[in-house]
Amino acid sequence: MVKIRLTRKGAKKKPFYRVIVTESRTRRDGPFLEIIGTYDPLKNPSEVKIDAERAKYWLGCGAQPTSVVKKLLSISGV
């Protein structure tokens, strides 16, 4: 099953996340199919950048977003 989820980047205590499309069985920071956006929780307000066209494509192909990514998609207007 294909999932849309977050992968962590950034230094210790300074998280930065990528919104990625990946197989559900791969590890959190493992291989992925495509990067469709970023999420920076440290900025005030939090910065969310998601490529709406690619997100809609993957959702149309049957990719399942995680609960956190669902919230980010609704914030970005997808």
The stretches of the chain forming alpha helices (DSSP H) are 52-60, 67-76
The contacts found for 36-40 with CB under 8 angstroms, 24 or more apart, are 36/4, 37/72, 37/76, 39/6, 39/72, 40/16
pLDDT digits (tens, 9 = 90+) for 1-24: 999 999 999 999 999 999 999 998
* Average of per-residue pLDDT across 21-44: 91
Q: How many domains does the chain have?
A: 1
- pLDDT confidence tier of residue 25, bands split at 50, 70 and 90: very high
> pTM score, two decimals?
0.88
Is 74 or 29 the better-scoring residue by pLDDT? 74
- Residue 43's domain comprises 2-76
Instruction: Look up the CATH number of the domain holding residue 20.
Output: 3.30.1320.10
Q: How far is CA 7 from CA 24, 37, 66, in A?
A: 13, 11, 12
Q: How many CB atoms lie within 10 A of CB 22?
A: 19
What is the rounded distance in angstroms from the CA atom of residue 50 to the CA atom of residue 71?
A: 12
